[in-house]
Amino acid sequence: MNLDNYDIAIVGVAGIIIGTLLGAFVTYRLSLMLAENNRRQDANNRLIRTFANELAEVYPTPVNWPHNIDAFLKSKFNNLQAAICEFRNVLSPKEWANFDSVWFKYYCSTGRETDKNCQCYSHYIDTSGASIDKHGKIESHTQIGREALKLNIDNILSFAKKT
């Protein structure tokens, strides 16, 4: 097969066009990935910042634990829920159920589906007690509210740290 100058020029121009289109496509896809990554990172930072600002007295180190933790957390709920709703939009749909469950465990101690619309923070109140198991043995139970709050907030913020 014999190629003349015209055929070589056609192949060269076609190669340039294909290379340019391929380069443009790769650049476009990478810019979309970068924009999505930046969007997720901004949402992560906003979520972490909101929790840090709203709950600075009690999280991560409870330096100023309020006498009435229930009233304190209820007063912070609207700002936290706004951050949660905004952050949820950057999660993939397959993460929604787990994220919603972790958020629900934060604001509702009952864990019952019927209580989704109420706030109950009794799981952050220090309690201790005893019960008798089925063998007649006495078991003591202690709930440390500060630890439960830290655990639940850590679980929420773990979604922001997955990037």
How do the pLDDT tens digits run along the chain, 163 residues long? 677 888 888 889 999 999 999 999 999 999 988 888 888 899 999 999 999 999 999 999 998 999 999 999 999 999 999 999 999 999 999 999 999 999 999 999 887 887 888 899 989 988 877 778 888 888 877 778 899 999 999 999 999 977 5
pLDDT the model gives residue 116: 83
pLDDT the model gives residue 163: 54
Q: Checking phi first, is residue 62 left (phi over 0); if not, alpha (psi -120 to 50) or beta? A: beta
pLDDT in tens, 87-106: 999 999 999 999 999 999 99
pLDDT the model gives residue 132: 81
Write down the domain spans for the chain. 41-160
pLDDT the model gives residue 50: 96
CB 132 within 8 A of CB 68: no
pLDDT the model gives residue 109: 85
pLDDT the model gives residue 1: 66
Q: Checking phi first, is residue 59 left (phi over 0); if not, alpha (psi -120 to 50) or beta? A: beta
pLDDT the model gives residue 141: 74
pLDDT in tens, 73-91: 999 999 999 999 999 999 9
pLDDT the model gives residue 158: 94
